[in-house]
């Protein structure tokens, strides 16, 4: 399928020159000149340190950066990292810097990386974000190792995160993905993945490259496709993920729409698969998970509750197309509760998410309006979660999230029933 | 002699009536036939639409765009597909009635037919404008309502209502303008109404809400300063 992906003439020539490789590290980028040099060095050091005998290539798939990102990759000094190596690579790590074609977005960038992986017959690949500040050479081992040494096809990342980081992931993406596909993937939209050459070729066969997946939602799509299509999946603990703020002004509603629409779209695509799945099981875990210190986090719970209450007061005409009368009645009662006593119970939250998923499937409202109307409810859940876990340690918070995920599994029959 | 004159008059009258009846009879028959076909066609169209529209998901679509709710508010409790089927059937029947009247070949009937058919495109376009206005205003009302709630703006419903009303007024004015009904009056009324609303809102915001306006502008122009504390990240 890689022949359908357009590549520049010089890249084609470079591929012919390289022939075949064992491993590939892909870095999609767009205006990341400040950080990409570090990502390249860490990747190359990881390849040299952990896979010195493998023929390796590093591919930067760039979306037309204007800040010199490709030049930063081309000029990255590989020899510097040799100082920390015990063994030295048999052959140097090759570089391919290429612009990608198609719809602007991470999906199109990764498509180019998949195509190059297929053309070079790479056995194992890893993709890492270009804005990472915390990437270490070990990440390369943790993403490629399970594929090369354990026969895995897809390696999902497991990060060390603050208890209030990734609340969309914790409240919707993780528990819903786990309940749908029956696999314990804690960070389905982590952004850094390992995968086999076989899976890269499989991705290329999917007709999604002219859809929203090409712009956003590629992370969720990669995870769901790997799990739903029966590939061997695992997780690797990478430690903390620190990266540049992607867009400080990014609107919460925009984020929620992009992420949740990606999950809901996949529910349509894999309807038969998720309907057949019962329960959820753990997947192999590589690396050494450990806890995280809890620095103060500023969370304006009052503002969140204010928006939740206003939603309960004003969004009735919208929610009545989406939610059942029982759910709306419970929300109305909750909205009247005092701030200190406010708790959004797990069973109600799960019902809300499932009813939104079914409404999205039935197209009862334009998708964007439907998902934007979820924002006040999501903020209600987040406020409740913050209140509930104010004094909790990381482990205790994980237990709370795990309990929510189990509730998603318990209510899956309800989702099947209302799906239609 | 009087008897002969009377016979002639009666004979001529009867024969004239018979001639006119013979000449007019086929037209009358054609009219009756066209009416019968019209009734049959209207019935068939109604039946077909009542069967196919629900199957095509029209009721779901109507529910989604708020048409069902609007019909309910107007006291029509029937399914939108049935309402549309009945309305279409009546339209078909009305067309056949016009054709039937035309079949009489009378001057006034021909004039009526010509005027009606020449006016029909305007009526259809005006109707389409009203339907479009209803859909567009409903869509924007919902968008504004959701965005205002998400932004924590207290008068969310008021804002959404203003947007819907303004759009509906705009589309009604366009439809009336298209029909040629009081063209100047509609245009001037709309301009005065719209200008008045904008002026009122500007004054209300500037006078009663000047503190809010100042805060809003300050927030928009102020650069985000690092608080030193980590903030909640949703992704």
Per-residue pLDDT tens over the stretch A267-305: 999 999 999 999 999 999 998 877 666 566 677 888 899
Written as one string, the DSSP assignment of A228-273 is HTT--EEEEEEEE--B--S-TT--HHHHHHHHHHHHHHHHHHTHHH
- How far apart CA B125 and CA A175 sit, in angstroms, is 51
Residues A277 and A184 occupy one common structural domain? yes
Select the more confidently predicted residue: A328 or A79: A328
CB contact under 8 A, B63 and A364: yes
Q: Could you give the angle at the alpha carbon of B132 between the alpha carbons of B129 and B137, nearest 5°?
A: 120
Contact check, Cβ <8 Å, B232/A189: no
> Which chain A positions have a beta carbon within 8 Å of B227's beta carbon?
298
* A296: in domain: no
Give me the mean pLDDT over the A258-265 stretch. 93
Check whether B226 has a pLDDT greater than 70.
no
How many Cα atoms within 13 Å fall on the side-chain side of residue B182? 8
> For residue A262, what are its two tokens?
């990606």
Q: What is the per-residue pLDDT across A52-68, written as a single tens digit (0 to 9) for each? A: 899 999 999 888 888 88
Report which listed range, A231-235, A366-370, B166-170, is most confident. Answer: A231-235
What are the φ and ψ backbone dihedral angles of A102, each rounded to 5 degrees? 105, -165
Task: Give the 3-state secondary structure of residue A392.
Answer: coil
**Burial code of A262-296, b = ≥16 C-beta within 10 A, e = fewer?**
bbbbbbebbeebbeebeebeebebbbeeeebeeee
| B56 interaction partners in chain A (CB closer than 8 Å) | none
Mean pLDDT lowest among A76-80, A122-126, B82-86, B103-107: A76-80
Query: What CATH number corresponds to the domain at position A61?
Result: 3.90.550.10
DSSP A164-220: TB-HHIIIIIHHHHHHHH-B--S-TT-S-EEEEHHHHHHHHTSS-TTSGGGTS-HHH
Which residue among A295, A307, A314 sits closest to B145, beta carbon to beta carbon? A314
Percent of chain A with pLDDT over 70: 92
A contacts of B154 (beta carbons < 8 Å): 310
pLDDT of residue B14: 84
- Could you tell me which of A380, A381, A379, A385 has the C-alpha nearest to residue A252? A379
**What is the phi/psi pair of residue A385, to 5°?**
-65, -45
- Residue A14, pLDDT score: 87
In A, which residues are within 8 Å of B58 by CB distance? Answer: none
The whole-number pLDDT of residue A246 equals 53
For residues A114 and A263, state if they share a domain. Answer: yes
| Residue B25 pLDDT | 82
* Cα distances (angstroms) measured from residue A171 to each of A105, A307, A324, A398, B139: 25, 18, 20, 12, 29
pLDDT tens track for A183-220: 999 999 988 999 999 999 999 999 888 888 778 889 99
Find the CB nearest A248 among B142, B150, B224.
B224
Query: Quick one: which H or E segment has residue A29?
Result: strand A23-29
In angstroms, the CA A165 to CA B232 distance is: 6
Domain range spanning residue A366? 301-419
Considering the domain architecture, whether residues A73 and A222 belong to the same structural domain is answered as yes
Residue numbers in A near B232 (CB within 8 A):
164-165, 167, 297-299, 382, 386
At A349 the pLDDT is: 97
Domain boundary among A286, A318, A338: A286
pLDDT digits (tens, 9 = 90+) for A367-376: 999 999 999 9
* Mean of pLDDT over chain A: 88
pLDDT-derived band at B227 (thresholds 50, 70, 90) equals very low
Residue with tokens 């779901």: B60
Q: What confidence score (pLDDT) does residue A82 get?
A: 44
- Same domain, yes or no, for A32 and A88? yes
Residue of A321, A340, A319 lying closest to A330 (CA atoms): A319
| Same-domain pairing of A280 and A306 | no
Q: Is pLDDT of B43 > 60?
A: yes
What average pLDDT does chain B have? Answer: 82
Closest CA to A287 of A399, A138, A135, A152: A138
Residue A259 phi/psi, 5-degree rounding, is: -70, -50
- Asked whether residue A251 is assigned to any structural domain, the reply reads yes
Cβ neighbors of A313 (< 8 A, separation 6 or more) are A335
Subunit contact B63:A311, Cβ cutoff 8 A: no
- Chain A's closest residue to B146, CA to CA, is A373
Residue range A379-403, pLDDT digits in tens? 999 999 999 998 888 889 999 999 9
Distances (CA, A) of A79 to A42, A44, A285: 12, 9, 32
Tell me which of A286, A309, A329 is where a domain ends: A286
pLDDT of A322 above 90: yes
Q: Inform me whether the pLDDT recorded for B75 exceeds 80.
A: no
Residue A88 has pLDDT above 70, yes or no: no
**Residue numbers in B near A164 (CB within 8 A):** 232-233
d(CA B109, CA B232): 76
- Section B16-36 average pLDDT: 85
Burial classification of residue A129, based on how many CB atoms lie within 10 Å of its CB (0-12 exposed, 13-18 middle, 19 or more buried): buried
Q: Are residues A277 and A341 in the same domain?
A: no
In this structure, are residues A253 and A377 in contact, taking their beta carbons and an 8 Å threshold? no
**Three-state SS across chain B?**
CHHHHHHHHHHHHHHHHHHHHHHHHHHHHHHHHHHHHHHHHHHHHHHHHHHHHHHCCHHHHHHHHCHHHHHHHCCCCCCHHHHHHHHHHHHHHHHHHHHHHHHCCCHHHHHHHHHHHHHHHHHHHHHHHHHHHHHHHHHHHHHHHHHHHHCCCCCHHHHHHHHHHHHHHHHHHHHHHHHCCCHHHHHHHHHHHHHHHHHHHHHHHHHHCHHHHHHHHHHHHCCCCCCCCEECECC
Residues of A in contact with B158 (CB under 8 A): none
Q: Which two tokens stand for residue B219?
A: 């927030």
Asked whether residue A295 is domain-assigned, the answer is no
Same domain, A279 and A306: no
Q: Please tell me the distance from the alpha carbon of residue A93 to that of residue A226, in angstroms, as a whole number.
A: 28
Look at residue A64 in the predicted model and tell me its pLDDT: 80
Q: Does the distance separating the beta carbons of B64 and A306 come in below 8 Å?
A: no
Number of domains in chain A: 2
B233, closest residue in chain A (CA to CA): A165
Q: Is residue A333 within a helix (H) or strand (E), and if so which, with residue range?
A: helix A325-335
Identify whether the C-beta of residue A25 lies closer than 8 Å to the C-beta of residue A137.
no
Quick check: A315 contacting B, CB < 8 Å?
A: yes
Closest by Cα among A385, A380, A417, A387 to A401: A385
Q: Is A163 on the interface with B (CB under 8 A)?
A: no
* Tokens found for residue B228: 């030193």
Whether A292 maps to a domain, the answer reads no
Q: Both A55 and A153 in a single domain? A: yes
**Interchain proximity A166–B234, CB inside 8 Å:** yes
pLDDT digits (tens, 9 = 90+) for B128-158: 899 889 888 989 999 999 999 999 888 899 9
Confidence of residue B124 (pLDDT cuts 50, 70, 90): confident
Which chain A positions have a beta carbon within 8 Å of B65's beta carbon?
Answer: none
Average pLDDT, integer, range A223-241: 94
Q: Which of A137, A145, A150, A167 is nearest to A255 (CA)?
A: A167
Q: Let me know if residue A263 belongs to a domain.
A: yes
Pairing of strands A297-298, A285-286: unpaired
Interface membership of A298 toward B (CB under 8 Å): yes
Mean pLDDT of A32-55: 90
Q: Is the CB of B157 less than 8 angstroms away from the CB of A189?
A: no
What pairs with residue A107 in β-bridges? none
pLDDT category of residue A90 using cuts at 50, 70 and 90? low
- For residue A351, give the nearest of A383, A367, A384, A328 by alpha carbon: A328
Q: Coil, strand or helix: which one is A161?
A: coil
Any A CB within 8 A of B225 CB: no
Residues A187 and A275 in one domain: yes
Which position has the higher pLDDT, A18 or A236?
A: A236
CA distance B37 to B96: 8
Which candidate from B150, B230, B232 shows the least CB-CB separation from A307? B150
Same domain, yes or no: A278 and A310: no
CA distance B136 to chain A (A): 13
Can you give the pTM of this predicted structure? Answer: 0.80
The answer to whether the CB of A192 falls within 8 A of the CB of A130 is no
Residue A3 belongs to a domain: no
| Stretch (H or E) spanning A155 | strand A154-160
Residue A263 has pLDDT above 80, yes or no: yes
Nearest to B235 among A169, A295, A366 (CB): A169
For residues A63-75, give the mean pLDDT: 83
Rounded CA-CA distance A38/A126 in Å is 16
**A186 and A59 share one domain:** yes
Q: Tell me whether residues B235 and A166 touch, CB distance under 8 A.
A: yes
pLDDT score recorded for residue A81: 45
Q: Indicate yes or no: CB of A259 within 8 angstroms of CB of B235.
A: yes
B144 Cα to chain A: minimum distance (Å): 10
Residue B229 reports pLDDT greater than 60:
no
pLDDT for residue A248 is more than 50: no
Write out chain A residues lying below 8 Å of B143, CB-based.
369
> Is the Cβ of B145 closer than 8 Å to some Cβ of chain A?
yes
Q: Which of A239-243, A262-266, B106-110, B219-223 holds the top average pLDDT?
A: A262-266
- Please check whether residues A180 and A32 belong to one and the same domain: yes
Q: Which of A224, A258, A286 is the last residue of a domain?
A: A286
| Residues of chain B with C-beta less than 8 angstroms from the C-beta of A364 | 60, 63-64
Chain position carrying tokens 């086929």 = B26
Among A292, A287, A34, which Cα is nearest to A140's? A287
Which residues are B200's β-sheet partners? Answer: none
Residue A404 belongs to a domain: yes
pLDDT band with cut points at 50, 70 and 90 for residue B228: very low
Tell me the nearest-neighbour CA distance from B61 into chain A, angstroms: 8
Question: Does residue A27 sit in helix, strand or coil?
Answer: strand
Mean pLDDT of B206-222: 67
Question: What distance in Å separates the CA atoms of residue A44 and residue A56, rounded to the nearest whole number?
Answer: 9
Nearest to A372 among B150, B156, B231 (CB): B150
Alpha carbons B171 and A10: distance in angstroms, whole number: 56
In B, minimum Cα distance to A189 occurs at B235
Q: Determine whether B127 is exposed, middle or buried from the number of CB atoms within 10 Å of its CB (0-12, 13-18, 19+).
A: middle
> Could you tell me if residue A142 is inside a domain?
yes
């Amino acid at each position: 399928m890689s022949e359908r992906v357009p590549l520049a003439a010089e890249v084609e020539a470079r591929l012919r020159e390289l022939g075949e490789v064992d491993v590939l590290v892909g870095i999609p980028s767009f205006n990341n000149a400040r950080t990409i040099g570090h990502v390249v060095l860490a990747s190359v050091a990881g390849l040299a340190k952990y896979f010195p005998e493998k023929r390796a290539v590093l591919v930067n798939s760039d979306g037309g950066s204007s800040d010199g990102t490709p030049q930063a990759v081309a000029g990255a000094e590989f020899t510097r990292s040799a100082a920390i190596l015990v063994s030295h690579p048999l052959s140097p790590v090759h570089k391919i810097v290429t612009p990608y074609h198609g719809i602007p977005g991470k999906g199109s960038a990764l498509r180019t990386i998949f195509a190059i992986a297929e053309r070079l017959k790479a056995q194992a690949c890893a993709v890492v974000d270009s804005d990472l500040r915390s990437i270490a050479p070990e990440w390369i081992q943790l993403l490629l190792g399970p594929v090369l040494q354990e026969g895995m096809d897809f390696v999902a990342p497991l990060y060390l995160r603050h208890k209030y980081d990734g609340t969309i992931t914790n409240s919707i993406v993780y528990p819903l993905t786990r309940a749908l596909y029956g696999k314990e993937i804690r960070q389905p939209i982590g952004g850094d993945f390992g995968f086999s050459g076989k899976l890269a070729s499989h991705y290329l066969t999917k007709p999604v490259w002219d859809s929203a997946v090409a712009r956003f939602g590629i992370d969720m799509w990669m995870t769901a496709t790997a799990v739903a299509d029966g590939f061997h999946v695992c997780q690797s603990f990478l430690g903390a993920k620190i990266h540049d703020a992607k867009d400080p002004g990014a609107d919460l509603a925009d984020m929620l729409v992009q992420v949740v629409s990606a999950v809901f779209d996949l529910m349509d695509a894999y309807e038969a698969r998720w309907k057949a799945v019962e329960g959820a099981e753990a997947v192999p875990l590589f690396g050494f998970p450990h806890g995280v210190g809890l620095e103060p986090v500023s969370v304006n719970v009052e503002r969140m509750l204010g928006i939740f209450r206003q939603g309960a007061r004003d969004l009735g005409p919208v929610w009545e197309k989406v939610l059942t009368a029982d759910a709306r009645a419970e929300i109305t009662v909750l909205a009247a509760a005092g701030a200190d006593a406010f708790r959004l119970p797990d069973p109600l939250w799960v019902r809300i998410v499932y009813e939104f998923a079914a409404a999205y499937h039935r197209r009862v409202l334009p998708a964007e309006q439907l998902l934007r109307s979820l924002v006040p409810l999501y903020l209600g859940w987040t406020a409740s979660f913050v209140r509930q876990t104010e004094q909790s340690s990381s482990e205790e918070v994980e237990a709370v999230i795990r309990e929510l995920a189990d509730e998603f599994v318990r209510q899956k029959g309800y989702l099947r029933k209302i799906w239609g | 002699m009087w008897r002969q004159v009377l016979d002639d008059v009666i004979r001529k009258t009867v024969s004239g009536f018979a001639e006119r009846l013979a000449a007019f009879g086929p037209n009358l028959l054609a009219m009756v036939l066209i009416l019968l076909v019209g009734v049959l066609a209207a019935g068939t169209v109604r039946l077909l639409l009542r069967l196919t529209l629900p199957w095509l998901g029209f009721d779901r679509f109507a529910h989604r765009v708020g048409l069902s709710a609007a019909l309910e508010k107007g006291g029509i409790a029937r399914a939108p597909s049935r309402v549309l089927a009945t309305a279409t059937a009546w339209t078909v029947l009305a067309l056949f009635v016009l054709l039937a009247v035309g079949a009489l070949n009378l001057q006034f009937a021909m004039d009526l037919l010509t005027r009606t058919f020449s006016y029909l495109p305007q009526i259809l376009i005006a109707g389409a404008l009203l339907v479009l206005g209803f859909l567009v205003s409903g869509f924007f009302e919902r968008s504004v309502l959701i965005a205002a709630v998400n932004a924590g703006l207290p008068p969310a419903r008021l804002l959404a209502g203003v947007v819907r009303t303004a759009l509906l007024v705009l589309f009604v004015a366009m439809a009336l303008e298209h029909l040629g009904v009081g063209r100047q009056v509609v245009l001037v009324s709309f301009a005065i109404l719209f200008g008045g609303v904008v002026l009122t809102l500007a004054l209300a915001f500037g006078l009663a809400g000047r503190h809010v306006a100042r805060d809003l502008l300050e927030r928009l122009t102020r650069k985000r300063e690092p608080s030193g504390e980590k903030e909640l990240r949703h992704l």
